[in-house]
Structure 1
Amino acid sequence: MSTELRRCTKCLLPETHETIMFDEDGVCNICRQIEFKEGKIDWAARKEELTALIEEHRGKYDYDCIIPFSGGKDSTWTLYYLMKEYKIKPLVVRFDHGFLRPGLNESTIRVLRHMGADFHTFTPNWKLVQKLMLQSFLEKGDFCWHCHTGIFSYPMWVALRYKVPLIFWGEPSAEYTSYFSYDQEETVDEKRFNRYVNLGITALDMAVRLGGEIDERDLKPYTYPPLKELRGLNYRSVCLGSYIPWNVKEQSRIIMEELGWEGAPVENVPPEYSYEKVECYMQGVRDFIKYIKRGYTRPTHLASIDIRHGRKTREEGEQLIEQFEGKTPPSLQM
């Protein structure tokens, strides 16, 4: 574990973590947010707000809501919870970024058949994806721009197409960062998209960078829909985790037992976290690049979550980080 970085005195997140700040005790703002989540929020009242929101939209459209869906633990839980708890009729929408693991697709089929939901999936132009990946890597050291943007913008276009105003995402960003806090209302909108998702590069920026190499129409899935159209729909784009307390380990256990959802080994992710980032077989490479840039990666992230929620001590977190952090992934050793 890098000793050169200043770290939270509680959860071990380093100073290079996005949006992090430390108080006079050296405790980070993410830890303080989780304390607020666990001690200050009236979750029964939040659940009533969720119920009212669903009933406001139930039965008025072809679908009660849109659920953006990667097939990972969080979107699977969102689908499971909303259908089981509220018996809603959702349209499940997936943006296929091109690197889905075969095992994930098998889990997705099992989940959808068990739940009985309509499934809309979109696979973008692969030649364009390659150009976008290279450009974003050269500019930001992150080849996932097409995935970041497509996952959050494409379902909004589907909401407009089907005229379904209610969109449910999974965990709120306050669970892991401080772009928003648990005492704020977090709307998953264009402001959040530009602040939190697109690496500071818009689709128009990409069109300019790539010049005559692309057809600008191909960039529509990566472009956030016009606010005027969304307001005309009277859209509500919210996180389920703003209304119910988010518990990744417990939720993963439930979807494994109830739906046959399966985790998978992921490069440099400790085996006890088999549910983590199973959507993409480029995850190990991406995490290693993050380690080069920021001095920490997935093991620190996972250890910090468990420390904040009382599942690990700081010392146990340090041991886990020491064992797994910063290793060159096997896919780069060929």
Structure 2
Amino acid sequence: MDAPFNNRATSGRHIKVCAKCLMPNSRPRIQFDEQGVCNACRHGESKPVVDWEARRAEFLELLDLHRSKDGSWDCVVPWSGGKDSSYVAHRLKYEFGMTPLLVTFSPMMPTEIGNANREALLNQGFDSLFFRPDQKIMRHMARRFFVERGNPKICWDAGVNALPVRVAAEKNISLVFYAEHGESEYGGKVLSEEHQKKRDFTEVIEHQIGDDPNNWIDGTVSRADLNPYLYPPLDMVKKRGVTAYYFGYFFRWSMLENYEYIRDKYTFQTAPGGRTEGTFTNFDSVDDKIDGLYYYMQFVKFGFGRAVRDACRMIQNNQMTREEAIANALPFDGEFPARYHADVLEYLMMDEEEFRSVVDRHRNPEIWKNENGSWALTFDPAGPDKNYAEKTHE
């Protein structure tokens, strides 16, 4: 999952849609050039000219410095059981001879599909650590952040980033492999090429979490309750020599190709019915019941949802045209995630009326207008040059 969206679109910004994909400039930190093309598309254009053989050689040198000789763990992979992290883990072990320890910060509301996919990879020959935090605390924070920021997964984002580094430091494993650098792959603030290769923990707190978890203490949450969500002291991380890299820097990153790789290695279950709610794909983010709400709130706050997200990634990898995305993705964008809705309400400890009130509170007036009791986008999600009828959402 890419960087969470915790804030509204920049006040006063005129909403524009990328001329090459379908991403609007309401996505936090995204940049458009003078031709109206987003920096994620420009990053995609750069991939064919990257010297991938040189990066592979650099990668192999890195592994040679860390590969264990006795079969002990020599790297940590933050692992959800999904296609991307499983792709990274499988290649590290079976193509490059590493011995990864897979570290999972539990989904908030695990699905049976996600559980089955994790078990399927473990049956291929991997060790894993699965951590599920205090659910009283997690549910409290999920509700709080859904109400305050329109994002119930902020605390989870903190945990999934912090736990693998903590495990690596505590077990003296100096190498960690995350999947991809979301700011460059999907549009955001790219500080330098080095940041696309090595994970900068300060950048993660600012961009992927959006806050310091130490600020979350309240009448229910104590400092001790936050331990699962906090990075270990950075001086300890440095002392243990822990460095985190992005696998996607060394090898061309593609969510579709990652899925196809995993699908051919073992039985990987996908969403029933041929697609996941809110999109046209069936293989991404299928391990947490609350993910549908996360992507729906992305649509509410920023005017693009799960389908546009998936389509843009495929456009940027030349796996779909813009016209195909308009026809096949936009009809599903912003679809309400009804399948697990009752379970999500129970998890968040709220009724339907409160839920709807919270959702509407996070609608940005730059993005939404209410006409005769129905909500509609204020901009054309296909861009001004495409004949696409405005879609309304009640």
Q: TM-score, normalised by structure 1?
A: 0.91
Structure 1's 218 and 149: CA in aligned 2 closer, same or farther, altered over 3 A?
same
Distance 2:140 2:332 in 1: 32
TM-fit CA distance, 1:328: 2.3
Distance 2:200 2:279 in 1: 31
TM-fit CA distance, 1:118: 1.1
* 1:216 alignment partner, one of 223, 226, 237: 223
* 2:53 alignment partner, one of 24, 30, 44: 44
Task: State the identity as a percent.
Answer: 28
Give 1:79-90 correspondences, 5 Å limit. Answer: 79-90=89-100
Structure 1 equivalent of residue 112 of structure 2: 102
Q: Does residue 237 in structure 1 map to residue 227 in structure 2?
A: no
Structure 1 equivalent of residue 168 of structure 2: 159
- Quick one: which amino acid aligns to residue 150 of structure 2? G
- Quick one: which amino acid aligns to residue 124 of structure 1? P
Distance 2:82 2:123 in 1: 16
Distance 1:105 1:329 in 2: 20
Structure 1 equivalent of residue 24 of structure 2: 14
SS at match of 1:259: coil
- Quick one: which amino acid aligns to residue 250 of structure 1? E
Distance 1:204 1:86 in 2: 39
Listed as ranges, the gaps of 5+ residues in structure 1 are none
Give 1:108-187 correspondences, 5 Å limit. Answer: 108-114=118-124, 116-173=125-182, 174-180=184-190, 183-186=193-196, 187=198
Which shifted more, 278-287 or 147-156? 278-287
Distance 2:242 2:337 in 1: 42
Distance 2:154 2:98 in 1: 32
Distance 1:27 1:247 in 2: 20
Distance 1:60 1:218 in 2: 38
TM-fit CA distance, 1:321: 3.5
* 2:313 alignment partner, one of 284, 288, 305: 305
Distance 1:159 1:183 in 2: 24
Structure 1 equivalent of residue 347 of structure 2: none
* 1:198 alignment partner, one of 194, 206, 209: 209
- Quick one: which amino acid aligns to residue 264 of structure 2? E
Structure 2 equivalent of residue 292 of structure 1: 300
TM-fit CA distance, 1:113: 1.1
Distance 1:257 1:179 in 2: 35
Distance 2:191 2:216 in 1: 31
Q: Does residue 255 in structure 1 map to residue 265 in structure 2?
A: no
Q: Contact 2:277–2:335 (CA<8 Å) still a contact in 1?
A: no
Structure 1's 181 and 241: CA in aligned 2 closer, same or farther, altered over 3 A?
farther
Q: Contact 1:11–1:304 (CA<8 Å) still a contact in 2?
A: yes
How many residues matched?
A: 323
Q: For the aligned residues, what is the CA RMSD?
A: 1.9
Distance 1:121 1:59 in 2: 23
Give 1:15-94 correspondences, 5 Å limit. Answer: 15-39=25-49, 41-59=50-68, 62-94=72-104
Q: Contact 1:307–1:313 (CA<8 Å) still a contact in 2?
A: yes
Structure 1's 103 and 97: CA in aligned 2 closer, same or farther, altered over 3 A?
closer
Distance 2:33 2:189 in 1: 17
Q: Contact 1:16–1:295 (CA<8 Å) still a contact in 2?
A: yes
* 1:278 alignment partner, one of 271, 283, 286: 286
What is the CA deviation profile of residues 213-260 of structure 1, one whole-angstrom value per residue up to 9, with x for unaligned ones? 234222111111111001101111011111111122122112112121
Distance 1:328 1:107 in 2: 25
- Quick one: which amino acid aligns to residue 266 of structure 2? L
Structure 1's 117 and 322: CA in aligned 2 closer, same or farther, altered over 3 A?
closer
Distance 1:226 1:179 in 2: 25
- Quick one: which amino acid aligns to residue 201 of structure 2? E
TM-fit CA distance, 1:159: 0.7
- Quick one: which amino acid aligns to residue 140 of structure 1? R
SS at match of 2:264: helix
SS at match of 1:330: coil
- Quick one: which amino acid aligns to residue 254 of structure 2? N
Structure 2 equivalent of residue 320 of structure 1: 328
Q: Contact 1:298–1:325 (CA<8 Å) still a contact in 2?
A: yes
Distance 1:159 1:267 in 2: 35
TM-fit CA distance, 1:60: 6.9
Listed as ranges, the gaps of 5+ residues in structure 2 are 1-13, 343-351, 353-394
SS at match of 1:81: helix
Distance 1:278 1:284 in 2: 9
Distance 1:284 1:128 in 2: 21
